[in-house]
Structure 1
Amino acid sequence: MTGRTPPLGDNGGLWQAVMAAAAGRCQCRGTCGTSHAKDGGRCKTVHGGYGPRHGTGPVRLLAAAADPADLLLPAHKAAALPKTALAAWCPACHDATRRKAVKARQAAAPAVEPDSLF
């Protein structure tokens, strides 16, 4: 197995196109909450490389929406995004960015007051 083995179901080569544009490296530039300052402002995780913790095994990058707000799209809308709207994400940056987007959406939502009983 090579470091560029695509995930199952990548018949159209979309994942491979996103990875080629990213040079096989996570494209997070701090939206996850980490500055990545030691690595020039971009996450250093590469596809097929090893995670930052001992025993994590090889990292498999994801092709997902580049805009953090689009990470909250329903699956059928996210699947329709063009490859120019996608980026390579390591699982850690993807999950942290998605969590931050959820919190931002919740903070922006108006407070709902409960219905009174009387």
Structure 2
Amino acid sequence: MSRIPPLGDQQGLWQAVLAAASGRCQCRGTCGTKHDKDGGRCPAVHGTYQTRHGRSWVRLLAAPADPAALRLPPHKAAALPKRELAAWCQHCHDATRRAADKAPNTAPAAVPDSLFDL
């Protein structure tokens, strides 16, 4: 069973993820945007004002790097280690999560336990 870190630990984890990302969204097109003008990576930088996607302040969040893992329940996503997290702007995170929700479930079906060997 994984342990959910206390809020103080989560703040430190968020800061570590942002530092590893140099304060910039790490999306490379999983949101459906190619980010061609920016070398293939989202240009959103934490704390800056963006005019695209709703004209607002960019607040990056630390979330699973693997788009399929964005479907995890919040308590499981919160327990992921730093190496499995990435910095996401709200637009890229939401678009990638919606795409993951629409993708077919690729997990193998669980084999039910049986009382007898067949």
TM-score by length of 1: 0.78
Letter in 1 for 2:8: N
Show structure 1 runs of 4+ deviating over 4 A: none
| Structure 2 segments unaligned to the other structure (5+ residues) | 1-5, 108-118
Structure 1 match to 2:28:
29
Matched, 1:41 2:40: yes
Percent same amino acid at aligned positions?
Answer: 71
Q: How much is the aligned-residue C-alpha RMSD, in angstroms?
A: 2.0
What residue is the counterpart of 1:62 in the other structure? 61
**May I ask how many residue pairs the two structures share in their alignment?**
100
CA distance in 2, matches of 1:41, 1:64: 20
Give the Cα separation in 2 of the matches to 1:47 and 1:58: 8
Equivalent residue runs for 1:37-116 within 5 Å: 37-53=36-52, 56-105=55-104
Cα distance in 1 for residues equivalent to 2:54 and 2:71? 30
Q: Tell me how far apart the structure 2 counterparts of residues 53 and 76 of structure 1 sit (CA, whole Å).
A: 31
| CA–CA distance in structure 1, aligned partners of residues 42 and 53 of structure 2 | 18
Q: What is the DSSP-based 3-state SS (H/G/I as helix, E as strand, rest coil) of the residue aligned with 1:11?
A: helix
Gaps of 5+ in 1: 1-8, 110-118
Alignment-mate amino acid for residue 57 of structure 1: S
The alignment's TM-score, normalised by the length of structure 2, stands at: 0.78
CA distance 1:15–1:33, change in 2 (3 Å): same
